[in-house]
Structure 1
Amino acid sequence: MSPQRFEMLVGLYGDERMAAILSEQELITSWVRVEAALATAQAEAGVIAPETAAAIVGAATAAAIDPVRLWRETRNVGYPILPLVRQLDEALPDEHRGRVHYGATTQDIMDSGLALQFDAVAARLAELVGGFGDAIAELATAHVDQVIAGRTHALQAVPTTFGAKMAGYLSELARDRARLAHAREAIATVSLFGAGGTSAAYGEQAVKVRRRVAELLELRATDIPWHVARDRVAEFGAVCALLTATCARFAREVVDLSRTEIAEVSEAAGHLRGASSTMPQKANPIESEAVIGMAITAGALSSALYRIMEAGHERAAGEWQAEWQVLPQLAALAAGALATAQAVAEGLQVFPEAMRRNLDADSGLVMAEAYMIGLAPRLGREHAHHLVYEAARRCRATGEKLSTVLSGMLPDGAAEAVGELRPEDYVGNPRTTVDAALSEWRVRE
């Protein structure tokens, strides 16, 4: 094969274990495992001789395949299984040749191999989701009472707590984990249906052989062909894209709260970490940026998943090939985003003093709703809203604190009834929120 391009983003921030699962060797291994299981099942069903099956199983190893030859011949054939079968057949004694791949079609082997490989992909992604979620759970628990300005439309809105903010991410990850489990079950399905999906070439033992192959490979069995029904594949890829999007939402939060003017959190510190080649003061949020970059890429790639589902008749004509490129990339990006987001969460520096300082910015207007709600029983909601709105305009014009301006605008008795409100007194029920998210997260699939 020609030299492979270096993918810098995944090369720097990808997950090594996922890279191994998606490697050339594991791809070839998945195919020979299917061929070995097929031979075993056919021997048990009396389709081929037991000694022939034993010979095929003995030969069916990745070490028996010359990858250089395999890919050279694949370039000519268009698909890798015919060249693979020829190499396996050549490794057999003469008396056992001609029985490898008996009754199967190329896509049977490749789709069953895909099921094997992506069952392992899903298992690794589940581990990574667990690691990231556990790190977020730690943040939610540690900062459940740490008051921070909640922001809507990028502007301060009402007080909340950093723990409650993290609870939202934890709940999202719990849903991501459930989606991944469903997608894993769907994609880990054997495919042995022959050239046109009829299983005719497998003979009368087709169902028995298919179900035994599924059992041997620890995959789900189905009696409905899915050569062109690619919703399983599209669903799995979409889940990968969703995982990266969850990671990116967290990473974007870190980037935004790290801004010099906000400075409420920061990625882990380190010598020259996030350094600039020209600005000595810089400590850029490099891991969060990498997560966002991987998510942007995954989101763009995911659009191909719906084109894959357009495959027509009983065999695709180009749509299938798109999977070969897109699905492994989505899996690699999801793994990299999850691993890197976990590193960000575990190393995150949280600055309570900055959070408290920012609550007093903009004349303390983050408490405007709190004052309105406090005044509403006495003045009525609309009157209270109008009065606090006018006070906010005056605060921005003069720089005075909201509590000071309001005290001079309220009718007799109203100011005393409300008093001076603190952000700590207007955060709702953060412990309820965090406890609910932790409860969701602890329900393992």
Structure 2
Amino acid sequence: MTFDLLTAVGADEEMAAVFSEQRAVADWLVVEAALTHGLAAAGVVEGDTAERIIAACRPEVVDTEGLWSQSATVGYPIFPLVRMICASLDDEAAGFVHFGATTQDIMDCALALQLRDAAGRLLDLVGQLGDGLAVLVRRHEGTLMAGRTHAQQAVPTTFGAKCAVFLDEFTRHRERLTVARQRVSVLSLFGAGGTSAALGERAAVVRDEMARRLDLAATEVPWHVARDRVAEFAMAAALVTATCVRLAREMVDLSRTEIGEVAEADGLYRGASSTMPQKANPISAELTIGFGVMAQAAASAMLRAMEAGHERAAGEWQVEWQALPAASASAAGALRAAIALTSGLRVFPGRMRANLDADGGRIMAEGYMIALASQLGRDRAHEVLYEAVRRSREKDQPLVATLRSSLDAEAWSALEPVLPTPSDYLGSTTQICQAAVTEWRRGAQPDSTRTDPVVITEEEGNE
């Protein structure tokens, strides 16, 4: 097997277990056993015969080395798996193993079980990340900083409002994943060409019993080549990671030496350089970006997997064998790294406030313009401020001083008392923060598997 350094450094073990070799084989056996239960419920096989088959669907009957060597010859693992089950049974029972099913039925049912659990794990991680962001939103609702557009200072905002936008995005991602999880949790049992001809009128009974036992939804329409459900899951995972990457890049930018408004968690040798002793690299952000990009690349392959023709794919299905585990594992890795990033994030309000003055107060140009508009109208006020900004840069002078010299004494006397400060010009940041937290809490998953709440301690080094 190829060594994967990214996985070795930051993999999510729970997601890795969902797509492990042991889990795949175990799920195929579980599905074969559920099929036998369905056959018994439909009267296709006698009860005692069914019990013998079900008892044989256990990992001990599988020679793993032989399974994979034979799969390389056949092209798929279910044919040799079925033969191994049959080898442990008498001829009568062996005659009803895998009855009425096709290889993809078994593998797609197992895939549904895996993706259901994978979606559950992603929802768990999104929940942890969102909870952590909610703490940052509440804590920094009033932490003043420069808002930036096109990488330049624009107008004042708060760090809480910045985090609120991310939190709102993850609220929607949680909804998407919840829907995707429901849609992929669907049974497949339609036989060779998707018509259920081998089972005939008994097919629906078999499917219903299988679905009940596997806790999957039954459907009357085959999906051997209709891969929109699994592609939707991969896309939902990729969308989550895209926001994780955006969050990580934002924190990388804000942690630049010249900006210095945030930093990742401190710790001995954390992010250390082998040659530059001063370095503390943003390693959680970097892992988030690395995993996120890989999740998106894997998800894009699922669009090609949807191109399968006729009633069975000829190569497109195999794309899924790598793309779905890769998209899931990478998404989990990105979320884990993003959780580490936000939970240990150090925020420096003093540096944020100081940076507001880095451009000579020009960040308040819009605020001054709006104040002056009551005297001159917005368009004329814009021109006055535009010229004042240009001259303040040319003279390396604070904007307020240049603006004072641009106006006559009467105009300045009327304007000066109403000129806003950065803390006066925050608009709806408080409401934005409150709305984002409220929506996040409203959509909290009641069936979450998380038991330990995320706790974010006071930031080290806060000014």
Q: What interval of TM-score do these two structures reach, taking the shorter chain for normalisation?
A: over 0.9
2:460 aligns to what?
Answer: none
- The Cα of 1:147 is off from its aligned counterpart by 0.7
1:286 corresponds to which of 279, 283, 286: 283
Residue 436 (structure 1) aligns with: 435
Match in the other structure for 1:259: 256
SS at match of 1:145: coil
Paired residue for 1:202? 199
Asked if structure 1 preserves the Cα contact closer than 8 Å seen for 2:171 and 2:439, the reply is yes
Letter in 2 for 1:223: E
Compute the displacement of 1:271 (Å).
Answer: 0.9
Alignment-mate amino acid for residue 213 of structure 1: M
Displacement after TM superposition at 1:63 (Å): 3.2
C-alpha displacement at 1:275, in angstroms? 1.0
TM-score by length of 2: 0.94
SS at match of 1:196: coil
Partner SS state of residue 192, structure 2: coil
* Matching of residues 110-125 of structure 1 within 5 Å: 110-125=107-122
Letter in 1 for 2:421: R
Q: Which amino acid aligns with 2:223?
A: W
Q: What is the distance in 2 between the residues matched to 1:63 and 1:6?
A: 29
Establish whether residue 422 from structure 1 lines up as the match of residue 460 from structure 2.
no
SS in 2 for 1:256: helix
**1:382, 1:227 → 2: CA distance?**
62
- Give the conservation status (yes or no) of the 8 Å contact 2:41–2:205: no
* 1:232 correspondence with 2:210: no
Tell me what 2:343 maps to: 346
Residues 51-90 of structure 1 correspond to what in structure 2 (within 5 A)? 51-90=48-87
> What is the CA distance between 1:94 and its match in structure 2?
4.1
Q: Deviations over 1:405-435 (max 9, x none)?
A: 1111123333233324311000112111011
Q: Deviations over 1:194-236 (max 9, x none)?
A: 0000001113210111111011100011000000000011101
**Deviation sequence 1:383-424 (CA, Å, 0-9, x none):** 111111111111211221111111111233332333243110
SS at match of 2:146: strand
Give the residue type in structure 1 aligned to 2:420. L
CA distance in 2: counterparts of 1:416 and 1:175, whole angstroms = 49
Q: Superposition pairs for residues 82-231 of structure 1, below 5 Å? A: 82-231=79-228
In structure 2, what is the Cα distance between the partners aligned to 1:211 and 1:417? 78
Letter in 1 for 2:335: L
Aligned partner of 2:397 in structure 1 is: 400
**SS at the partner of 2:225?**
coil
Give secondary structure in 1 for the equivalent of 2:187: coil
The CA deviation at 1:28 is 0.9
- 1:340-381 superposed Cα distances (whole Å, 9 cap, x missing partner): 101110000000011000000111111110000111111111
Q: Percent identity?
A: 55
Q: 1:12-40 CA distances to partner (integer Å, 9 max, x unpaired)? A: 11211111111111111111111000001
The code of the aligned residue for 1:435 comes to Q
CA distance in 2, matches of 1:379, 1:209: 79
Number of residues paired by the alignment? 442
Cα RMSD (Å): 1.1
Please, which runs of 5 or more residues in structure 1 have no aligned partner?
none
Bigger shift: residues 63-72 or 218-227: 63-72
- Looking at structure 1, the residues matched to 242 and 160 of structure 2 have their Cα atoms a distance apart, in angstroms, of 21
Task: Verify: 1:44 aligned to 2:47, yes or no.
Answer: no
Q: Note the 1:373-392 alignment, pairs <5 A.
A: 373-392=370-389
Instruction: Structure 2: give runs of 5+ residues left out of the alignment.
Output: 446-463
Distance in 2, matches of 1:413 and 1:185, equals 67
What are the residue-to-residue correspondences of 1:261-340 with 2, within 5 Å?
Answer: 261-340=258-337
Give the counterpart letter for 1:386 in structure 2: E
**Runs of 4 or more consecutive aligned structure 1 residues displaced over 4 Å after TM superposition:** none
Rate the CA distance shift 1:411–1:63 in 2: closer, same or farther, 3 A.
farther
CA deviations on 1:59-82 (whole Å, 9 max, x unpaired) are: 112232121111110000001100
Distance 1:414 1:295 in 2: 54
